[in-house]
Chains A and B, each alone.
Chain A
Amino acid sequence: MTGKKVKFRFAFLTLIFLSLVLIVFLIIKSLEENVIYFKSPSEIKNLSELPKKKIRVGGMVKKSSVEINLDKINFIITDFKNEIKVSYSGPVPNLFTEEKGAVAEGFLKDREFFQATKILAKHDENYMPPEVKEALEK
């Protein structure tokens, strides 16, 4: 009888171990796939190669850069050292205005042009993206 019990316990432990390995593997794999990197306009300037995956670009919306057409909005995100043109069609969040922080999510076409699929603005009207703050303090 003890042999059976030991066998059962062994099978049970193996099962737990295997499922743990599987879970860790799953988590790491989907992390790799679903992580979205955040870049400032200056970081994009210095990229050695263009990322094909979705990224986020954050900074301040440049003064009087927002230009609105019937099907899309163009604006410029700046960190006061470098800037990038952003094109977007879709709803803009409530707090999106010129000279406020904004984050655009989408694809980088080249070092000067970003095609956004989503715009996120911060909830707090005084919020400034950290890298913009850093850039301003330098």
Chain B
Amino acid sequence: MLNQLGYYSLIFGLLFSVLAILQSIRPVVNKSNLISKNIYFSIFLQFLFVILSFTFLTSSFVTSDFSNLTVFNNSHTEKPLFYKISGVWGNHEGSLLLWLLVLTLFILIFVITSKKFDNKYRLLTIFFQEIIIFGFFLFIILTSNPFTYLYPVPSQGLGLNPILQDPALAIHPPILYIGYVGTSLVFSSALASTINKNINSGWAKHIKKWVLTSWIFLTIGIMLGSIWAYYELGWGGFWFWDPVENVSLMPWFCLTALIHTLLVLEKRNQLKNWSIILAISTFSLSMSGTFLVRSGILNSIHTFANDPARGLFILVFLFLLVVSAILIFFLYSKDENKNINWFSKDALIIINNWFMMYFLSVVFIGTVYPIFLEVLANEKISVGPPFYQKLIIPFLIPFLLTMILSTRLRWVKDNIYKINIKQISIFTLMSLLTIYFLNISDKNYLFASILISSSFFLFFNSLNDFLKKNIKLSQKISHLAFSCLILSILLNGIFSSEINTNMKEGDQINFEKKIIKFKTINFEKENNYKLLRGNFELVRPGKNILSFYPEIRVYDQPKISTSEADIKTDLFSDNFIVFSLLNDEGVFNVRYQNKPFMIWIWISSIVLAIGGFFAIVRK
């Protein structure tokens, strides 16, 4: 019953999206440019039907209705309610329905909030956005229907992958999707204003809110995924340069560049074409991200068992969208008279945009090259983390320095004699700090020292910015957070230490003046899994003893075992113990890690997003 209701809601939603396409393009074609009440009506109903359909799917999951194939594949009666609900988007079909839900919600918000803009621009934006929505409706109905009927009805489902039963991962996809989907609205709006020729500071101000919203959600979404990888995968790293991670990072680079370009557009009415190009690429990258993750083309450790036919649909759809976007751009864009002085805030923002594009292309090549090689030469490869580190880290130095300089320069034109006493004192302070940090580490790289000092330079400059009145609060917060992020990632990378060893109950080992004791092991039983809980003690010289209780869980449905790390966090470092069962005689593989400044990576990412939030709410 729920199946049919959900499916027919989707069909009705599809019909209203077709209606909205017609209603939005007709006034533009006959040049009346009138927005009729009907179009609001269609967009609202379209949203209503998608939300209905989503509700039906959710209730199928909650009531464990196994006549639904998606529910059967991904749920189980024994599963806690929270994970039954998150199971809705923990799979391909449901996650696409969520995409669609956010798409239709965003277009609704757009029509309601854009009333002061001219009608042609609004109609065109609705038109482009509805085409994307229509594509997604078709995609879901034709290739990934979440309401496939299953007969005979099984009595029990196959269960959700226990690795995915985790609070951070449960909310990670919806948040990331809001970020992705927001870029689609930026895309439609950019195309609409290219045709309507209203790319100006008013438009920049208006679209900036959408760009920032997507950026905030994308930032948080990437961070959540990274936190999950950190504690759930039990490897202790937080970023693996895995293709699936890369595809979420690429639109982030693009959006960050776009935010800054829009500042220039808003203040100086410059960089119109560049903003449009960035808007188009951001969306293309988000879409291809979905495509790459969902098609199973990527040879990634994240790979989901999936059907390549779906990938083909997204690929064709994406290709059509991008080609028409490029066509529209070339047909309608005008030459702008560039008026940029090379020593001004504008110019430095452009330079940092280029750096962003460079980082983006490194990640892009590293992600896409293996796919090409596999298609062309039938050779399977993967690109290791050193590739990215080598190509990105050196360029961070000029990037950070430009970032510092750009906040100190005025718009339009400035002179070069701005280096004053304050800068010199900040520079000395940061050199001293760098020397201190390098002394306590045994790695004395010249390179690391320059990098750390430039991030400290940025850090103190951003702190100093808080005293200034003419800088926006959002910029102060975000730039400070960004410098903290870079710093904590660097220090974390340099000072992390770990030991891997096999231990039995009662063993103890020494590691860097610390003693790790494996005290006891207990067997317990929970609702849907059995668990082995280890008790470890970490004795550190001059500090209190830490007790750890990492777990090995053996789930009933499906039969999988996972290791749950136990992490003790304080302001300066994380201590991390994870263990896994090696054989039946009670030998365990134990991994202890010390990760300095880990918590600051998460804190600064959140503060970074908060900075974006301030940019939306404050003028």
Residues of A within 8 A of B (CB): 23, 26-27, 30-31, 33-39, 54, 56, 68, 70-71, 73, 89-95, 97, 103, 120-128, 130-131
Contact = CB atoms under 8 A, between A and B. Distances in A.
B90 to A, nearest CB: 11
Contacts of A122: 301, 303
A123 B163 contact: yes
Contact of A91 (B369, B386, B580): B580
A91 B589 contact: yes
Given A23-B358, A37-B379, A68-B583, A90 B500 contact: yes
Given A91-B591, A124-B305, A38 B234 contact: no
Contact of B500 (A26, A38, A89, A121): A89
Contacts, number: 102
Where chain B touches its partner, the secondary structure class is mixed
A1 to B, nearest CB: 16
A95 B233 CA distance: 10
Contact of B380 (A33, A37, A90): A37
Given A31-B365, A33-B386, A68-B582, 17 more contacts: A23-B358, A27-B365, A30-B386, A30-B390, A31-B369, A34-B383, A35-B387, A36-B382, A36-B384, A54-B384, A56-B382, A70-B502, A92-B582, A92-B589, A123-B303, A125-B558, A130-B299
Interface stretch (B46-54, B485-493, B560-568): B560-568
A108 B358 CA distance: 35
Contacts of B366: 31
B153 interface: no
Nearest to A56: B382
Interface in B509-560: 558, 560
B500 to A, nearest CB: 5
21 contacts: A27-B361, A27-B391, A30-B390, A30-B391, A31-B366, A31-B387, A37-B380, A38-B299, A70-B502, A70-B587, A91-B235, A91-B589, A92-B580, A93-B235, A95-B163, A95-B560, A97-B561, A121-B301, A124-B161, A127-B305, A128-B305
A34 B387 contact: yes
Contacts of B502: 70-71, 89
B381 interface: yes
Contacts of B279: none
A111 B386 CA distance: 27
Interface in B360-374: 361-362, 365-366, 369
A34 B388 CA distance: 9
B302 interface: yes
A35 B381 contact: yes
Nearest to B304: A124
A93 B578 CA distance: 11
B299 A123 contact: no
Nearest to A126: B305
Contacts of B386: 30, 33-34
Contact of B234 (A35, A56, A93, A97): A93
Contacts of A31: 365-366, 369, 383, 387
B6 to A, nearest CB: 25
